Every structure is written in structure tokens, then in C-alpha cells.
Amino acid sequence: FGHSGQTALDRCMADHGGFEHNLQSLRIVDLLEDQYPNFDGLNLTWETREGILKHCSRENALRLGALGERLLKGEQPSLEAQLVNIADAIAYSTHDIDDGLRVGYLDEKDLVENVPLYAEYHAQVDAEYPDIQERRKQKEVVRRLIGYMVDDLVSTSRANIEAAQPKSPDDVRALKTPLISFSKEAQAQMRILKSTLMDKLYRHYRVLRAVEKSANMITQLYQTFARTPALLPPLYQEQSKRYGVERTVADYIAGMTDRYAVLEFNRVLNPAFEI
């Protein structure tokens, strides 16, 4: 359930170290994956693990040893980590537009009126393809938005790298600003887009209902499993002996898809549901 799920789990784990999704990702690849007979985790490189971490609080960084040093020193992540971070932002922003329009929670009129870049590409597509279905037009506008962001990111980042001339990963880390970035114009466009999505989509009453429902579902699952660990699947009952009940319950819930969480909620907490 995205950020609402993270927030709910963090509240549940307030007295047991909290919950943060980047740290959880690191925990999975360092401890919970069990692919090898001689060690826990996946034995990933330091650079990959640091890139997964991305960010965390100073308190958590202090507990991470060498992996947390960059965060404490205010250094930049690797070029690869910088790129993945922005690629993620491009992906979720544009796909949220597509999803919001598809389910009817987002009105295209709001995008045209409030997001200049969307309005520009909407006018282009409308002029080029006046007779196609509206849904096809919307998909083409989103496709062009992605193209604009990717092209800008590539050209701006190339210019940044050529200007800085880094000779090593340490040179990249020592810089005051990331080398992988949008231009100032594209940054402004992204801020407008994110602000519009926040106002018109993420705060839509139906979205807020889903957020509230999912948070309640996760909270009830956590409380039930923490109170009665015998309800956990055998694997997690065994893991609780090593990591403690509360952390193991968080691991179990964090590993669920939305659909599985709903199914598990019904199996455990819905009296009318057939087990």
C-alpha cells in the first residue's frame, strides 16, 4: 500500500526501532534472502547496497557503519544510484497520471489548466490525431511527457559530467550537487506536475479512503500477529526466534503485495471468510 503502508508500519513499530522502506530493502538483501548455504543475504557489492539505501535519518545512519558515512558527511551517491532515483520519479509521476485518468480520479481538464507541459503535448496530440479515442490521446501525451523528461535528463546530465570531469567515484561523491539531474526548466515542470498530482489525485477523497482503509488493515494485521505469533506461517515463527516477534511481523507484512494483504486480513480477521 505504498507510503500509507509504510507510515502504518512505522507507527506500529514505534517502540521497536520503527520502519523505513529503504532500510527494509537493505535488510532484505543483507539478512532475509536465503539463497546461499554459507551466509545470509545476497552478498551484494557495497556500492549496490549504498544505492539501495538512498536516504535515512541521521540516527539510523549512525548505526550503519561505513554504509552510513556518505549520509553523515553529506556526500553524493554513485552516478548509478542518482540515475535510478530520478528514473523512479519519472516512472511514478507519469504512471500516476495514466492511472488517475484511467480510473477517473484525475480530470484531464485539471492537467491542461495547471500543468503547462501537459497542456503543450495535449494540444500537439489533439492536432495530430483529432479522430482517435480520448484514451489513446491520453496515453500518447503521457508517452511524450516521459520522452521530454528522459531527453532532458540525459542531455543535462551529460553536460554536468563534461563540466565536472570526475575522474573517479570519489570525485562524484565529493561534489556539492548531483551530476545526474534535470535542467532548471524541467525541475520547475516536475514541481508543477507533482503539486498538481498532490492536489488533484493524491488528496482525492476516494484515494484518501483507500489510504485510511489500508492503514487500518495493516495496523490490525500487525497487532494480531504481534499478540499471537502462533498465527504466523511456520517460516516466520522460526525467524521470530532470531529477530524478535515485532520485527518479524513487520518483515512479514512488508513482504506482502496489496492483494495478499487483503487476503490475509480476511483469513485472519474476517469471521465470515472461509479459511
**CA 186/CA 135 separation, integer angstroms:** 25
For residue 269, give Cα distances in angstroms to 85, 175, 217, 261, 266.
37, 52, 10, 11, 5
Residue type, 107: D
Q: 81-103 b/e with 16+ CB inside 10 Å = b? A: bbbbebeeebeebbebbbebbee
- Which regions of the chain are under pLDDT 50? none
140 touches 129 (CB < 8 A): yes
| pTM greater than the 0.95 cutoff | no
Query: Which pLDDT score is estimated for 116?
Result: 96
**CA 31/CA 43 separation, integer angstroms:** 10
List Cβ neighbours of 89 (8 Å cut-off, separation of 6 or more).
Answer: 190
Instruction: Give the length of the chain.
Output: 275
**CA 89/CA 191 separation, integer angstroms:** 11
Query: Which pLDDT score is estimated for 60?
Result: 84
Query: Which pLDDT score is estimated for 122?
Result: 97
Report how far apart the first and last C-alpha atoms of the chain are (Å, whole number).
Answer: 23
DSSP 8-class letter at 66: G
For residue 190, give Cα distances in angstroms to 60, 93, 117, 186.
30, 9, 9, 6
Query: Which pLDDT score is estimated for 235?
Result: 96
User: Where in the chain are all domains bearing CATH 1.10.3210.10?
Assistant: 2-74+207-269
The CATH number, out of the four listed (1.10.645.10, 1.10.3210.10, 2.40.30.10, 1.10.260.40), of the domain defined by the range 2-74+207-269: 1.10.3210.10
Query: Which pLDDT score is estimated for 183?
Result: 98
